[in-house]
Amino acid sequence: MPTIIVDGQEIEIGADERLNCIEAARRAGKEIPHYCWHPGLSVVASCRMCLIETGSRDAATGKITMVPKLVPGCQTPVKDGTVIVTESQLVKDSRARVEEALLIDHPIDCPICDKAGECLLQDYHFQHGQAERRADLHPFTSRRRDVGPTVTLFVDRCIMCTRCVRFTREVSGTAELMVTSRGAKEEIDVFPGHPLDNKLSGNVVDLCPVGALGDKDFLYQQRVWFMKREANVCGGCSAGCSIHTEHNQDTIYRLKPRENPHVNGWWICDEGRYGWHHVHDPARIVAAGRRAPTGGAFTTVEWHDVVGRLRDDLKSAGRLAVAVSPMLTVEEAWMLCAVARSIDPEAFLAVGHVPRQGADETFPGGFTIRGEKCPNRLGVEAVVALFDPAVRSWDDLVTHVRGGKANAVWITAAYPGPWLDEAAAAAFAGLDCLVVQDLFESPLTALATWQLPAAGFAERAGTWVNVAHRAQSFGQAVRPPAGVWPEGRLFWNMLGRRGLYDPDAVRRQVAESSAALVALAGEIPPHGVDLRIAQLA
């Protein structure tokens, strides 16, 4: 195994690993500060913050020879015998000077900057900078430049790391951003008439190590230190990108990509990034309502009463058909099927409506936006297959209902937007009992006997299986609007379970009952597990 020496500490790296000094030092617990380097982008070695001293140890004699100058850690690969020095006076002085240089033209308007609190320029200044400002220059302007529908550029805060420029060239492949002018006058800009409007544009804000690129959706909404972050999975499409939901007091403020080499790398699309606003839509259904058989308005039913009365209504109606929404988690889907079969052992189970919008779209950097706009079709299909190997679809359900084979239908939906029109909903008219569980009122709720609220994205906990069969578990990030029981809690209570809804317990139970889902038995790591690999094993 190759051995490298970081500040005197010997560490081993994998024989086939290609690491640069920043990555190798991190293994030894040493953080080399850097701005321009990003693992998802090409190396330019231009910020010069990661300058370190390196050398090599002769394998035969053990003699260490140092390179007589500073080298950028990002650009320098390590191999057996590489010596890295990150804490010499030379390195410290160099960092202090780079930090000083970057601040010469910086407006230092942290009190009104969105990035304050998660800004590398701030952090590195406190860690590596010098207390005194030696440049008596007054560059304190702060110009704003609109570069696209999602992003604002604060021109003078920029440190010219060019991460954003490289992103639009290498990952989105759209190349809207560029560098204009030269020397200390250079700036980031867009080409005239070509704003930054690609489908991945929000990522440049995440990439920006300072406060230069501001997300218009988030601008001035919340100080970052007030927010908590929950590891989550995006529900916008079947890609299932790993994200962080950042929230404060049950209000979501923004979504950020969470690095996951198996799914999304470092990126998410704008559709997912800004796709959480429905969660806080005041038009959401927030109470369980039941309509009298004679019609009229919904009367609110207390949640503890819902459990029993819903079961009674469905039971008395007779033959039951259930649509298990691909927005539900594996745990919720399994409990729903179990509840349905406990009411009617012959219950017709189908995978709910699968929204689709266009074809999959892959970008030059490899990132793909899926055309299937739900997060868990594969997971729900696997669960439904446990109860009915035929795995019926939404269309099968409609045919089934149109054929008069069901008296009661329970439709789970939880789609973030309108998903069926009046004509399609008409198939469900005239039933003895129609239960609709959705986020918003629709032509379907107009026909419903029961109208139940659904949990929005980030309000549920459980496991989703993405298009590549990767199962990722996540917790509840924010609580639903007051009074709303997420689906899991309702199903848990309808199954007669005691205590609080425990998704982990359900997940383990599902795994025990199914060879296809056995990989869900253990702890699910942050990057998820591949269900197919578990099957092969």
Instruction: Using the minimum distance from each CB to another protein, give the nearer residue, 51 or 337.
Output: 51
Nearby residues of 17 by Cβ (< 8 Å), 6 or more positions away: 2
Instruction: Using the minimum distance from each CB to another protein, give the nearer residue, 161 or 255.
Output: 161
Backbone angles phi, psi at 64, to 5 degrees: -100, 125
Among 63, 144, 280, 532, indicate the residue that binds another protein (CB under 8 A): 144
Cβ distance 386 to 426 under 8 Å? Answer: no
Instruction: Using the minimum distance from each CB to another protein, give the nearer residue, 73 or 481.
Output: 73
In the numeric block, which tokens belong to residue 403?
Answer: 């054929």
Burial class (CB in 10 A: 0-12, 13-18, 19+), 15: exposed
Whole-angstrom distance between the N-terminal and C-terminal Cα of the chain?
Answer: 28
User: 36-55: which residues touch another protein (CB under 8 A)?
Assistant: 43-49, 51
Give the closest residue to 378 by CA, choosing from 473, 517, 204, 513.
517
- The total of other beta-carbon atoms located within 10 Å of residue 177's CB is 27
Task: Determine, following the binding rule CB under 8 A, whether residue 220 of this chain makes contact with another protein.
Answer: no
Instruction: Using the minimum distance from each CB to another protein, give the nearer residue, 43 or 495.
Output: 43
Task: Determine, following the binding rule CB under 8 A, whether residue 101 of this chain makes contact with another protein.
Answer: yes
Task: Determine, following the binding rule CB under 8 A, whether residue 108 of this chain makes contact with another protein.
Answer: yes
Instruction: Using the minimum distance from each CB to another protein, give the nearer residue, 182 or 498.
Output: 182
In the numeric block, which tokens belong to residue 225?
Answer: 């230190």
Task: Determine, following the binding rule CB under 8 A, whether residue 310 of this chain makes contact with another protein.
Answer: no
Q: How many residues bind another protein (CB under 8 A)?
A: 47
In the numeric block, which tokens belong to residue 165?
Answer: 């420029």
Among 18, 92, 143, 280, indicate the residue that binds another protein (CB under 8 A): 143
Contact range with another protein by CB under 8 A, out of 4-12, 100-108, 120-128, 464-472: 100-108
Which residue is it, tokens 């601040």?
103
Nearby residues of 243 by Cβ (< 8 Å), 6 or more positions away: 231, 232, 233, 234, 255, 256, 257, 258, 268, 272
Least distance to another protein from the beta carbon of 54, Å?
10
Helix residue ranges per DSSP H, 242-302: 270-273
Cβ distance 494 to 310 under 8 Å? Answer: yes
Task: Determine, following the binding rule CB under 8 A, whether residue 71 of this chain makes contact with another protein.
Answer: yes
Instruction: Using the minimum distance from each CB to another protein, give the nearer residue, 44 or 287.
Output: 44
User: 146-165: which residues touch another protein (CB under 8 A)?
Assistant: 159-160
Contact range with another protein by CB under 8 A, out of 69-77, 243-251, 361-369, 527-535: 69-77
- For 479-535, the DSSP string reads PPSTTPPPHHHHHHHHTT--SS--HHHHHHHHHHH-STTGGGSSPPPTT-EEHHHHH
DSSP 31: P
Least distance to another protein from the beta carbon of 50, Å?
11
User: 173-192: which residues touch another protein (CB under 8 A)?
Assistant: 178-179, 181-186
Instruction: Using the minimum distance from each CB to another protein, give the nearer residue, 70 or 524.
Output: 70
Report d(CA 488, CA 338) in Å as an integer. 12
Instruction: Using the minimum distance from each CB to another protein, give the nearer residue, 70 or 116.
Output: 70
Give the burial string for 412-421 (b: 16+ CB within 10 Å, else e): bbbbbeebbe
Instruction: Using the minimum distance from each CB to another protein, give the nearer residue, 35 or 450.
Output: 35
Contact range with another protein by CB under 8 A, out of 67-75, 190-198, 334-342, 519-527: 67-75
Among 23, 105, 438, 459, indicate the residue that binds another protein (CB under 8 A): 105
Report d(CA 213, CA 152) in Å as an integer. 6
Among 64, 112, 515, 533, indicate the residue that binds another protein (CB under 8 A): 112
Task: Determine, following the binding rule CB under 8 A, whether residue 142 of this chain makes contact with another protein.
Answer: yes
Contact range with another protein by CB under 8 A, out of 80-88, 140-148, 313-321, 358-366: 140-148
Give the closest residue to 487 by CA, choosing from 345, 495, 355, 231.
495
Least distance to another protein from the beta carbon of 42, Å?
10
Contact range with another protein by CB under 8 A, out of 103-111, 209-217, 329-337, 432-440: 103-111
Binding stretches for another protein (CB under 8 A): 43-49, 51, 69-72, 75, 93-94, 97-98, 101-102, 104-105, 107-109, 112, 132-138, 140-144, 159-160, 178-179, 181-186
